[in-house]
């Protein structure tokens, strides 16, 4: 009976260890995704400041360059989503 309980306890410990490792890996992946969204928002902001984006463009995100050479529809490409994610992550202290 003691051997069986020890074997079960060892299996449970191994299970708990694997689950904890999986949770850590998921947390790291979410942090990487969050940082990528922040970086993309920063890049959109910089491109807009340089005048490379047409925030009023009506085309699709894949429309490419407008006649004036600006990339169109960055707005539709998710700038709001990335900027909101960046703001929320900064408020939460997750990213700088």
Domain, as residue range, for 68: 2-91
In a domain, 84, yes or no: yes
- Positions of the chain with pLDDT under 50: 57-63
In a domain, 19, yes or no: yes
> What pLDDT shows up at residue 51?
77
Distances (CA, A) of 79 to 41, 49, 59, 69: 6, 14, 15, 19
In a domain, 44, yes or no: yes
In a domain, 96, yes or no: no
Q: pTM for this one? A: 0.62
Encode pLDDT of 28-53 as tens digits. Answer: 999 898 889 888 888 888 887 887 76
In a domain, 18, yes or no: yes
Count of domains for the chain: 1
In a domain, 69, yes or no: yes
> What pLDDT shows up at residue 59?
44
């Amino acid at each position: 009976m003691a051997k069986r309980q020890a074997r079960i306890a060892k299996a449970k410990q191994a299970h708990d260890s694997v689950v904890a490792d999986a949770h850590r890996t998921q947390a790291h992946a979410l942090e990487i995704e969050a940082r990528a969204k922040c970086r993309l928002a920063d890049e959109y902001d910089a491109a807009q400041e340089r005048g490379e984006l047409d925030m009023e463009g009506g085309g699709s995100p894949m429309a490419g360059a407008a006649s004036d050479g600006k990339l169109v529809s960055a707005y539709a490409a998710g700038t709001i989503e990335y900027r909101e994610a960046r703001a929320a992550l900064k408020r939460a202290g997750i990213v700088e």
